[in-house]
Amino acid sequence: MNLSENDLWLLSYYRSSEINGALFFGRVARTLRGGPLQADVTHHFADEADHAKQWTRCIEDLGHSARKLSGAYQDQYLDAVGLPANLMEIMAITQVFEKRVIGQYRRHLRAPDVHPRVRTTIETIMEDERWHVKYVRDALREMAAAYGQDVVDDTLARFTAADEEVYARTLAEYGERVAFLGDRP
């Protein structure tokens, strides 16, 4: 299939973001003590690496090679919110980001003329993304006992606002690349 330059860029951007996620969760997994959260974060790390592999194969199946991109969506988070100060903040920013990913993939699925290979890749990845939101939500519920529900809620609100800012900047910078997805966020 002949992908447009914008299609190829977006699929490569997804791939790059998944690679960044794998690297991030690999570092987090190395720091955690043994237990259920360590197992979940390690699973998350493996999922992100697998998603990058799935995007690579999807792009190759469509007759292309992934574009080398200099950055990913997550790269802008540190500028917007700073370095997470603790594990609760890592989980909170993860929750916000994973919800953004699901929203972006849903938006992509609603676009006209999504190639079946791209659709299958997104639908497969979305199964894992939904689990990511669930395990992180559960971890944040448990962490509320130590940090306080108000602190968790305030952190989620702060990171959600930052994510909206990052998303708006991303659309301003790359909007022409994703215009084919329509105006629905």
120 CB-side CA count, 13 A: 9
What is the predicted pLDDT for the residue at 180? 60
Residues of the chain with pLDDT under 50: 184-185
**What does the alpha-carbon distance between residue 46 and residue 170 come to, in Å, rounded to a whole number?**
26
Place of tokens 């022409």: 176
Joined tokens for residue 60: 């190759």
Domains of the chain and any CATH numbers: 5-176 (1.20.1260.10)
Residue 182: the pLDDT is 56
Residue where the block lists tokens 């990171």 = 159
pLDDT tens digits, 115-130: 999 999 999 999 999 9
